Structure formats: structure tokens, C-alpha cells
Structure 1
């Protein structure tokens, strides 16, 4: 089976539509989302509606959770907080209820999906430091996991008798006898100095991971953010992928 992974969409409908079209061209049989459908971008409603319309299984991301917590404050950057408040004001009750009902993890039998980590709830750690990596791998119920949150394509691997390794993700055959977490990058706000949307395709029959970068109407997405009155930094960072 060919499975396409999207994640960290962050209200960027232009990037989402282009990513879905790319996955259709590659004839994936299912699409899974690693969370953070909203936050930062100016089209949260459209991104939720499209994800629901296509019945794409998704896990809860931290920005999804923040958005559902009306009246609560969080220790996050001012621009991110501004975007959360704006997003809350532009969603209907049905959108908020749907986001709030998303599961923390999904188990597909041969692999699992989470946004950040299988542990550390209710926190949302970046699984790149040694402590976070070890705790995550120890709690990972399957040999293979797909996640998001870091906004960059990465792989976290552990071979018995060795320390875990964190590397940039590229096209790869899955190694045998290793625990592996595949960070699928970000559709709507990449942070690896590449502005193009990042998606991943998993060929389960061949045990092969493919990373795709998808051009999209980035200036249009930037203009949407500015026209919505959201912070300029959230618009400009789309152009540089950071």
C-alpha cells in the first residue's frame, strides 16, 4: 500500500491543495495527517473542511489543541499566540469540536502516528534532544512511527546496542531490526530553509520512504496572512522556509 503523509499544514490552504494534488499524481491509496492543521496561516476553516471532506485520519497537534482551549493562555511566542486567538475567532463551533476530538495517536498495525511524541503528555516536545529521543523510542509501540512538529523532514533511528541517531530524512529503504521515527516535515510552514511544501510517501510493500517537495503559490499564501491582519513575520517566513 502507498500511504501519503501530510502534517503541520497550519492554515495554509494553498500548500495543502498542491500537496494533495501531488499525492494524487503519485496514486497513493490513503493519506494520513500528523497534526497541526491550524495555527499561523489565514485559512484554518478551509484546511479543516478539506481534511474532513476527504476523510483524512489525523492526530491532534499542539496548535490544534491550543485552538480548542478557549480563554486559556499558553507559554508560546506572541506571534503564535496572536494566530491562535485569530483562528479561534474565525472557526465555528463545529470546527472546534472536530479538532478537540482528534486522537493523540493512531495505530495502523505496522506503524503508529503521533504529532510530537508518544510520551511527555500534556507537553509537546521537539524530539531531537537525546533525552526526548530516548523516551520517545522507548514508548513507541511499533518499530515504525510517523510524526511531525519539527517542521523539517528528519529520521530518528535506533539500532540495538547503539545510541539513537537523528538525521535529515531523504529517500530511503527502511533498515531492518531498527526502531525508526519518520518526521514528515511541514506542508504549510517548512523550517528547513526550503519554502516548498514537504510530504512523505511510504511504500509498505517495498519498505521505501520517499520525500517530496511541492511548489505552491507561496506569495498568495503570504498575502492571505497579511490581508488577515496576522503578524508580518508569519507571512514572510513562508518565503524562506524558516
Structure 2
């Protein structure tokens, strides 16, 4: 069985459509999302609709939570403006979807124990976990019984790391990559072997940037071209 893994879409529907096409072409049986469906970009309802259409199993991210409640004070000014704008745009159906999302995903799929969280097991919404921080000590701190696959998001920077019998994966960001590569990121995991294939795909950045500039800070559009 193969699963697709995505994260940090941030209301970038054109990017998500290309990624979903790639996952379908890869023959995945199921898609998991490590949170932040919305925030930053101008297609929140379209993204929620696409996730539902493709039966994507998602958890909540910090930007998803922010648009359902009061915008966190620690958000940057551009993130605050985007969250406040998004809150006003969401349909009742989209709000209900976001409210239904859990903080963490813990399930056995095809005999593999999978744990997925947006930030970290210790702080599901807000802690950034970078590749260099993933080691034996971190896994021992997070888990009494280690899962075989741990999926993280939030940093917008992809990595995969094998620590003993546990594979730790961050698929990177669909909608706002921050590793100086502007192409959308996603991953496919073969659960039989736990082999991970990572992908980058182009999408129409101009279309997203132009629409973003109509409603949201131009800096959010400009950063898409640089992958930062």
C-alpha cells in the first residue's frame, strides 16, 4: 500500500491541484495531510473542497486553528492579515471541516503504526522541528513506544530521516515552500518497505500571486517566487 503525504497548503489551490494530480498518477491508496490547509493565500474554500473531494485525512495546523479563533499575537503582521481575511471568507461548511480536525493522527495502516502532527508531539500546533533536531533522544522523549512512521509539518522544509526502526518525514509545503525551491513539495510512502519518494512539481505561481495581490499583502505573493 502507498500513501501520499502533504502539508502546509495554505489556501494555495492551484498548487494543491497539481500535487493531487501527481499523487493520483503515483497510484497512492490514501492521502494524509499534516495541517495548515488555510492561511496566507486566497483560496481557502477551494482547498477545503479539494481535500474533501479526495478524501484526504488531515489534522489541524496552527493557521487552521487561528482562523477559527482569535489570531495569535505571535503571528507576523502578514500572517495576521491573512488569518483575519481568511476568517471572513470561510463558508460555514469550510469552518465545520476545520473544526472537525484533530491535533494528532495515530493509526495503524497496513500493519504500520503511523503518528502525524503539525508541529511536534510535545507541542502539536506551534513547535518547529528541524531535521537536525530529529535523533534517538528526541524520539525517546516523544514516545514510550515508537511508531514506525512519524509525519511532521510546520517548517515548510522537507526531510526524511531513519532513526533505528522509525522513519521521520516532513513532506515540505504544498503552498509556500521555504527551502529556496519554489516548486510544491509532497511525498509518497510505500508502507510495505517504508521507502519514501519525495517530489517537487511546478504550478502556476503567477496566478496565485496575482490573486493574492488583490486581497492580501504583496509580500506573501513575492515570496512564492523565491521559495522562502
Unaligned runs of 5+ in 1: 159-176
* 1:202-213 to 2 correspondences below 5 Å: 202-213=189-200
Distance 1:183 1:47 in 2: 20
Distance 1:201 1:12 in 2: 20
Distance 2:9 2:225 in 1: 15
Change in Cα spacing, 1:196 to 1:72, as seen in structure 2 (3 Å) is: closer
* 1:121-160 to 2 correspondences below 5 Å: 121=124, 124-128=126-130, 134-135=137-138, 138-140=141-143, 141-158=146-163
User: Which residue pairs with 2:122 in the alignment?
Assistant: 119
Unaligned runs of 5+ in 2: none
User: Which residue pairs with 1:223 in the alignment?
Assistant: 210
Partner deviation per Cα, 1:135-185 (whole Å, 9 max, x = no partner): 565224413201111101123554xxxxxxxxxxxxxxxxxx343321110
Change in Cα spacing, 1:206 to 1:157, as seen in structure 2 (3 Å) is: closer
* In the alignment, structure 1 residue 9 sits paired with structure 2 residue 14: no
Normalising by structure 1, we get a TM-score of: 0.85
Aligned length: 221
Normalising by structure 2, we get a TM-score of: 0.90
Structure 1 residue aligned with 2:176, among 182, 189, 194? 189
Partner deviation per Cα, 1:117-146 (whole Å, 9 max, x = no partner): 11125x511012877875565224413201
2:47 match: secondary structure: helix
Distance 1:38 1:120 in 2: 20
Distance 1:91 1:153 in 2: 29
User: Which residue pairs with 1:108 in the alignment?
Assistant: 107
Q: Which moved more, 1:131-140 or 1:184-193?
A: 131-140
Q: Which moved more, 1:127-136 or 1:216-225?
A: 127-136
Q: Which of structure 1's runs of 4+ aligned residues deviate more than 4 A?
A: 129-137
1:82 match: secondary structure: helix
* In the alignment, structure 1 residue 61 sits paired with structure 2 residue 61: yes
Q: Which moved more, 1:47-56 or 1:191-200?
A: 47-56
Change in Cα spacing, 1:156 to 1:209, as seen in structure 2 (3 Å) is: closer
User: Which residue pairs with 1:82 in the alignment?
Assistant: 81
Distance 2:19 2:134 in 1: 30
| RMSD over equivalenced CA pairs, Å | 1.9
How far off its partner does 1:218 sit?
Answer: 1.0
Distance 1:222 1:137 in 2: 42
How far off its partner does 1:72 sit?
Answer: 4.8
1:108 match: secondary structure: strand
